[in-house]
Structure formats: C-alpha cells, structure tokens
Structure 1
Amino acid sequence: MTDGDWDLLVIGGGITGAGVLLEASRRGLKALLVEQRDFAWGTSSRSSKLVHGGLRYLAEGRLRLTRESVREREALLRDAPGLVEPQGFAFADYGASRRKRRSFLAGLAIYDFLAGRRERHWVDAGGFAMLAPNIEQAGLQGGIRYMDAKTDDARLVLRVLDEAREHGAQARNYVAVDSLLRSDGRVIGARLRDARTGSIHEVRAPLVVNATGAWAGALAGQGSAPRLRPLRGSHLVLPAWRLPLAQAVSLMHPEDGRPVFAFPWEGATLVGTTDVDHADDLAGEARVTRAEFDYLLNALRAQFPQLHLEDADVLATYAGVRPVLDSGSHGAPSKETREHLVWDEPGLVGVTGGKLTTFRAIALDVLAHVARQMPAWRPDLSPQPVFAPGFLPRGPRGVPAALLLRLAGRHGRHAQDLVDGAQEGELEFVPGTLTPWAELRWAARAEDVHRLEDLLLRRTRLGILLRAGGAEHLERIRAICQPELGWSDAHWEAEQAAYLALWRSHYGLP
C-alpha cells in the first residue's frame, strides 16, 4: 500500500466504495480501497437483497430516483446474469377500492415504461392462489404481479472489487483509517492501521473518498459530514419448505400498514424488513430485537395463517444499518429520503445515502466531484457495462448449467479456476442451500478470508441459511478450508468459537 503514491484513496469497502474504486480504475486512476473490517461487513451484506426500481419512490412522486433505479436494475440484470436475477412480486388484493387498484396499476405501467417493459399485472383470485400458495383465501379478490430483481449483496460487492482489481486497483480489508493527513488545509492522504498486525502506515493521495456510509461522520479529521439518521432493517430467514413461495409476496402489516415482503432466496425464504431508528453504537454489529422479530413473524402469521409459523421455524436473523439522510423532520423513518448525497472539501469527497441498486450511478456522481478537484483528469463519465462480458466455466459431465451460470455470476474471471479446483463431491450443494462446497474452498484459497465469519457470513451465506449457523457442517468445512487458509488447529478452534458466539448473539433468535 505504501509503495508509491496513489491518485485516489477510497475509504469504505461496501458497495458504494467498491463502485467508486471500479469506475475510477477503469478510467485510468491508480486507486486503493481500504476497509476497517471485512469487505461488505456493514450495510452491504445485511440489505434486503433486492435490486429494485423503487416502486415506493414512484408512489411518493420521486420520479428521478425511480427512473435512475429502474435503469440501473436493468443494467445489472443484463450485465450480471447468475448474480442478479429477476424476481416476480405478488401483492394480494382483499377488496381494495377500484380507484386504489387503478392507481396501483397505473403506477406499474409507468414503472414498466421506465424499464422498457410491457407486462400484464392483474391476476384473478385463482391465478393468484397459484402464485402464492398458502396465502389467506378469505376475501381474496385477486392480486397484482410485477417484476423486480434480487441478488446476493455481499457477492455483488466482491465481484465489483474483483473487476476493479482487473483494472489495476487494489483493495485491502482489515485496514482502518486512524486519521486523515492534511497540508495547508487540504487532505493529502490518510494514516492507516493494519488490524491484523497493528502496524501503522501513511498513504498519500491527492484525493480521498469517504464512502463509509452510516459511519461517514466517524472519520477522524474530516470536515463537516451531513447529518445522518441510522435506520435498522431487520430480517428473518426460514426454510423454503416451511414457507414455500414461487413469487415474492408483498403484504401490508396488519398492525401499522407498512409493507413487508417474503421471497425465495438462496434456497431459503427471506422475510423483511423493519425500518426503525438505530440508537446502538455503530462500532458494534446490529442485531434483531425481540420486538422486530415478533413484528415480522406476526405479519407472516396474518398472511399465511394455515402454516402456524412459530419461533422455532426461523433459521436465522440479521439486521443492517442504512445510511439515511436526516431531514430533521423527526417523522416516520420510512418517509426519509433514500437518495444519496455527495459533499466535498479540498482533497476530500464524501458520499452517503443511496441504494444498493444505484451504486454505479452514485460512483459516477462521486467521480464528477473528484474530477473538479483534478483538472488534469478529464474522464468520460458516461455509464459503461457494470461488468466485462464473461464466459460460462466448463464443468464435469452432469454439472447443471444453472450452477455454472451461478459461479460465473458470482466469481467472474475466476469461475473456471474455482471449478477446476473442486475436489470430488465439492460441486454438490451444501444441504439446504444453493452453495456448492467448492465455493468454500475457493473463498479460503483466494478471497481475503481472515476470520471464519468472513467465510460463512459474506464469502458464502451459510451462516444465515443454515440452522445454528451451519454448526453441523463445520467438521467438513474445516477439512476443506483449514489447509487452504494455513491455520493451525489452535487458530481454527479459536475462530470457530468466536464465530459461533457471534452467531448466537447476532444471528440467532433474540
């Protein structure tokens, strides 16, 4: 990191920082990204996993944000097959007024127009019951169906970072910024601390980007950051057999009318989300409260009463903190804007807010501010394909094409190496998931894993897809990954104990 100067130092290893690193490096800047924890450790591995155009924003009259989101969704669907996938949504109608139904359908027509699509949205009661089995039938008039998309958010971050590295960038996890370096009132770099060794380094760059999201105000030595209102979004994960869905189901919570969704994800069913003020210390991990757990489970019980869902049906929970701009209105959290904000001072550009879906547009906005402070750099900031065209890896006979597409989407240029490195039986799925064992081997070998939680919560998502965080599979995971990581027995056992303790306190039932 300290070998020579950099054109750009990016602080923050979530989707926003990764996007800035990619868009800067593909336009010729020598760029370095540092993340104080693991890549995607914060909000970008704890989102609702949706790549969506923001139908709610359209209803609120935010046409520009909706248009931008829809276009970015379509770009990701085009450029990231196997990683970003279409997801149908179904919204049940239990006798809403014709006027309200017409308004909803008119909004969807605009939504389709912005995306260049044209689809049929109204489904009668019989058709809707087929889309959403087990849904409450009493009073069902039919429903509305529309298309959005979903992804594995942590893998999206890792793919963006790898694409940036292909363009010459570097990215380092577990490297924290102690303070910014200044000269004559201008930021000229940062003082970095390696969390693994404790060593201190100074890195110089004419421009620094603060892309730390909800943590934007905590960077020592920076100027005035915008006021943020950290909002917690919590989620439940259930086995697909316990809550089987062919489509995502959107429903209005019976207590307060807020939208709640459930949809098939990675071989399980994901349920979310809450939107509450997060008052805990941002240095710690967010966790689901008992009140949020009950809130989400009660929504499912109301929509799927015949399933008789109980606490024990939940495999795992997770919560993330959204970097939402504070309007100062002290109104409902869901009313705060999800638009991003860029601010700057000499040598520093900061960015916060925004959505997972629009990370490319946010990055290009950041680089427009960077360019104003770098007169000699005259980039073309028109959008480019999110990822370079890829190729399906060649697998052994009998390996499903869907698995090869998945690996290409998540691992890009490394997919063939992953397949070639798989040992006997490792292209089979970990039971109850869509994750092949080979992804664990590749992550341990080549994806900057420094903690067991990196492997099981972000490189793969086994920690939230399996009961008890995958404890029953840890023996085989150890056999695959310990030699690749080069950890001693004592090191593995310490990491395993730390991971299981973290899972119980932050990913289990509250």
Structure 2
Amino acid sequence: MRSQALELAAGQAWDLVVIGGGITGASVLREAARSGLRSLLLEQRDFAWGASSRSGKWVHGGLRYLQQGQMNVTWHSVRQREKLCHELTGLIDMQPMLWPLYKGQLADEVLIRAGLFVYDLIAGKRWRRSMPLAAVQQAFPDLHAPHLKGGICFYEGQTDDARMTLRVLQEARKAGGVALNYAPVVGLHREGNLVRGVQVATSSAQEPLRIQAKQVIAATGAWSDGIRAHVAHDKNSRLRPLRGSHLVFDRVRLPIDATIVLKHPRDRRPGFIAPFQGRVIVGNTDLDHDQDMRKEASITPWEVDYLLETVQHYFPALQIGRQDIIATFSGVRPVVDSGASDPSAESRDHVVWHEDELITIGGGKLTTFQHIALDALQRAKAKFPQMKLDGPPGPILTQPNPSLGVPDSLSAAQWQRLQGRYGDAASAMVLAAEPGTLTLIPGTETLWAELVWCAAHEDVQHLDDLLLRRTRIGILLAEGGRSYMPRIRELTQPALGWADDQWHAEEARYLEICRQHYSVPPVPGSDA
C-alpha cells in the first residue's frame, strides 16, 4: 500500500515536498496546506520517530536559556507556550513546577526570581508565586533538603509530544496536505544546479521514484546534515546531536504529585522529576550523542546512574534503585554547533539554510515549532505569493465541536484529554468503541479504545508505531506492556489486518526494540 501511495504521489505536481515527519515538518506541512500549497510530507520511518516522541514532554519557556542570555529563544518560547496552552487544551496543560530555595544561596535565588519575573512579563500574566517551607514540605514529604527554606512555584506546559505531532498532521491533512510515513528520501532531484524534487525508495521498485516539487524543505532534525550534504558547498557538519535520556518509575514507588526542579548533587545541572500519564519521569541528561544515528537512541549505564543519583540524593528514604525503573527513553536534539565545551551551553535557537533552492532547518525546540515552520516558509515566499505569512500566525488546531457533550461513559477530564489528542475524531472513537474498551489500561491514563482506533485509522505500519507513538504504552508499562500483549492482540489485530505470522513477527520485533532501547541497560561487566 505504501508503494502505491508513493507511485500516486510521483504522478502529481507538488508545490512543496517536506522531508521529515517530526513536529517541525508537521508544522511546515500544516502552514503550507493552510496557505493553499499542494504539499506532501515524506518520513523515512514513523511520524514522530525521533526527538518528537522522546522529549521531556515540556512546552516551556526555557528558564535555563534565559540565564544563559538566550533571550530570543526564551521570548519566542514563552509566547508560543501561552498560545499553545490556550489552543491545545487537553493536549497541553499548564502544570505547577517547584524551584526549591536554599539558605545561603542568595545569588541563585536572585537569578531565579529575576528570570521568572521576565518570564511573566513576556507571558503578560503572573504565573509565579512563593511557597513557604511548610507548603514545600507538605507537597514533597519525602524530600530531603537540610538547608531548604521554601521555594518558588511557576508553571510550564506538559504535553504528549508524539500526540501533538499527530494532531498537527491531522490538521495539515484536513487542509489538503498529504503525509506518508515509511517513505525514505534517498536523494534529491535536480534541474541544473537547483533542487526541484526528491527521490524516494520503495519496496516495489529497484530504482527510486522521482517526486517533483517547486520547493523542498528538509525538517529532519538531528539528521539534517545528511540532507545538506547533497547540496552544501560547506561540507562541515553544522549540527551537534545531543542526547537527552529519562527514567520512568511507578508513581507508587516514587510518589511525586507535582513537578520539582532539582540540581544534580555533583555537577549542579538542573533536572526534573515530574508526573506523566500515571507514571513519574526523571530527566534529563544532555550529552554528545556518539551512537549510530541510523539506530534508535538508547540510555547508557552512566546516564542511568547519573539520573538515579538525583533521586537517591533528594529522596534517600525511598531507597530507589535500578530495579525500580519501569522504562527509559532517549532522544537526540538537533542543536546547532557553536563549539561550546559544555553541551548544555549550546543555543537552542534554530537556523534555516537556503542552498541550491533546498531549504534546511536546523536546531530549535519543541515549543517553537510553529515559529520555526513560518520562518522556513518565508524563504520560499517569492515562489508562492499566495502565502499569507505576515501578521499574527493562525491557530495551530481547529477546536472540536463545543456542542458535543461529555459521553456518559467518560469523566469530563477523560473527554477533554481525548478531544485534545484526537480532535473531532474523539467522537467517532467513542461511538465505535467496543464494550469494555472505554476503560483505562492499568497503570496508565490510556483507554483500550484508543489502541483500537489508532490501529484502524492512524497509519500504523508496525507494532511499535502503535505502542510507542500513537499511545505511550511502551514507556508506561514494564517490558513495554508484555503482560498485556494477549489483550492488545485481541483488540488490535483485526483492525491492523495482520495474519497470525505477521503479528508474531511484529510482537517479537517490538519487544526487542523495548529491550534494546527502552529498558535499563546492563551494568558493564555484569552477567545480565
């Protein structure tokens, strides 16, 4: 079916081809389709396969970037955060975060208070408030911090990054855009010295298919240097891939009900511990990624120990260890390389290169995806005068029909969550739900019905698409949800249309992905 879709695409005239199906590529497609361009997005793996499903799950202003003098990044991030949280209710929710304050650290306190003051000025709303010591101790009764004197509560947006990418793609398709996953671009089509399309590999043809377009935009994240290599006159790498890794715990074992920012006991780098979809995430690292970029990123034993140090230092009574970790996940950030010795000191701003008519996006962060997409499209405005890019950007998502009441089988919070993640499709999902499937999968906030709907309607080609990106079962349940696999198979195999042999192969493939890339790696020298 994918080869047929690509052959159909090759026979059409496109204004724009977007390479890359993460949040930035999805937003480029959405804005281009909104402007009336005939637009096609091609993703070599699955939508949101890269950093767009493996972030820290925050739509945030970037307090650390403000402290580093990255005012431009913080300005656009805070403004976009406010816009996104207003428009994407149920998909992005403002959550309280505590920054602890300590006796004898006045300089740090002044910096934090000043930074949050600027935050609120940019947002046009006061989000911050002080918390006395007693309130902090009540919110975090297991916190061990001898010199604690109180804290500052502020707010950031928490999201499901993969679902946000899929919602933006949903909006792009509603506007006329076309998006295909598992459509690897293997080359660029040139007319003279100018890029005028792409070459795409298919399973049904020995030679790549040529898809022509007036403009090609590469939004491939940490893989952008590979695309630029086809046209760049400067062959030096421009990006510095940085890995951010996270641990996932059962909320019973690590009872955290609100997010807290904690500095690592050794290097004092800020990290966080946060509730997420019924579990608790501990994050994150910020390291040069020296693993094979063709493979999924994986946490290292050193990173596991580093993140565990924070938990063990601040919550020693809980006696948390490696055996308590449910899952791990790691993403690779596409940071523009400035040569900074400290990876965390690199700017999170984005860059757009325009070479031989190919537009390539580098850098940026999850929060500013619409700003980045519009900046890239500005470079092609001369070709498409019909694009209306001046003035305030339009809404990212269309709002679900407000006349639809809360279904009897769901709580108001569950209904808002479904509408945020699936838009107008939420109503069809509930109507189509089989008896007993509008209940929660244990240990998560996900309904069984979501698995069935996604399997039938959301371009699932492999089991990991369904369990790691359409839903987050793979990082919320031990061993990727192995113990629930019979029930998952019962509900989704008919919708997927897979024969038994294909199911068994997909299940084995998925569980191996979870073992290699989403589990706790063995300690070097151990027998594990």
Coarse TM-score class (shorter-chain normalised): over 0.9
Q: 1:488 aligns with which of 499, 504, 508?
A: 499
Does 2:31 align with 1:23? yes
- Residue 512 of structure 2 is matched in structure 1 by 501
The within-5 A match list for 1:35-434 is: 35-194=43-202, 200-219=208-227, 221-223=230-232, 224=234, 227-329=238-340, 331-372=341-382, 374=383, 376-382=385-391, 383-391=393-401, 394=405, 396-434=407-445
Return the alpha-carbon distance in structure 1 between the equivalents of residues 107 and 515 of structure 2.
48
| TM-score, length of structure 1 as denominator length | 0.97
For the 8 Å contact 2:120–2:128, the answer to whether it is kept is: no
Structure 2 residue identity aligned to 1:438: A
Return the alpha-carbon distance in structure 2 between the equivalents of residues 482 and 199 of structure 1.
33
Q: CA deviation at 1:368?
A: 0.5
Q: CA deviation at 1:96?
A: 3.8
Cα deviation, 1:321-364, whole Å, max 9, x if unaligned, reads 110111124x1000011100001023311101000000000001
Return the alpha-carbon distance in structure 2 between the equivalents of residues 452 and 212 of structure 1.
23
For the 8 Å contact 1:83–1:406, the answer to whether it is kept is: yes
Q: Which runs of 5+ in 2 are unaligned?
A: 1-8, 522-528
For the 8 Å contact 1:188–1:206, the answer to whether it is kept is: yes
Cα deviation, 1:274-311, whole Å, max 9, x if unaligned, reads 00111111111110000000000111100111111011
Return the alpha-carbon distance in structure 2 between the equivalents of residues 78 and 117 of structure 1.
13
Q: 2:488 aligns with which of 469, 474, 477?
A: 477
Q: CA deviation at 1:99?
A: 3.8
Q: CA deviation at 1:105?
A: 1.1
For the 8 Å contact 1:77–1:84, the answer to whether it is kept is: yes
Does 2:16 align with 1:5? no
User: What root-mean-square deviation, in Å, do the aligned CA atoms of Structure 1 and Structure 2 show?
Assistant: 1.5
Return the alpha-carbon distance in structure 2 between the equivalents of residues 493 and 274 of structure 1.
35
Return the alpha-carbon distance in structure 2 between the equivalents of residues 197 and 156 of structure 1.
34
**Does the C-alpha gap of structure 1 residues 501 and 72 become closer, same or farther in structure 2, counting only changes over 3 Å?**
same
Return the alpha-carbon distance in structure 1 between the equivalents of residues 273 and 23 of structure 2.
23
For the 8 Å contact 2:454–2:466, the answer to whether it is kept is: yes
Q: CA deviation at 1:396?
A: 4.0
Return the alpha-carbon distance in structure 2 between the equivalents of residues 484 and 166 of structure 1.
23
Return the alpha-carbon distance in structure 2 between the equivalents of residues 483 and 111 of structure 1.
50
Instruction: Judge which range, 477-486 or 197-206, deviates more.
Output: 197-206
Structure 1 residue identity aligned to 2:80: E
SS in 1 for 2:450: helix
Q: Which runs of 5+ in 1 are unaligned?
A: none
Q: CA deviation at 1:137?
A: 4.4
Return the alpha-carbon distance in structure 2 between the equivalents of residues 151 and 63 of structure 1.
24
Return the alpha-carbon distance in structure 1 between the equivalents of residues 449 and 207 of structure 2.
34
Return the alpha-carbon distance in structure 1 between the equivalents of residues 381 and 177 of structure 2.
18
**Does the C-alpha gap of structure 1 residues 464 and 120 become closer, same or farther in structure 2, counting only changes over 3 Å?**
closer
Return the alpha-carbon distance in structure 2 between the equivalents of residues 197 and 185 of structure 1.
27
Return the alpha-carbon distance in structure 2 between the equivalents of residues 50 and 401 of structure 1.
23
Q: CA deviation at 1:394?
A: 4.6
For the 8 Å contact 1:391–1:408, the answer to whether it is kept is: no
**Does the C-alpha gap of structure 1 residues 196 and 509 become closer, same or farther in structure 2, counting only changes over 3 Å?**
farther
How many residues align? The count is 508
SS in 1 for 2:334: strand
- Residue 439 of structure 1 is matched in structure 2 by 450
| TM-score, length of structure 2 as denominator length | 0.94
Return the alpha-carbon distance in structure 2 between the equivalents of residues 389 and 397 of structure 1.
21
Instruction: Judge which range, 296-305 or 187-196, deviates more.
Output: 187-196
Q: CA deviation at 1:197?
A: 7.6
Return the alpha-carbon distance in structure 2 between the equivalents of residues 285 and 351 of structure 1.
21
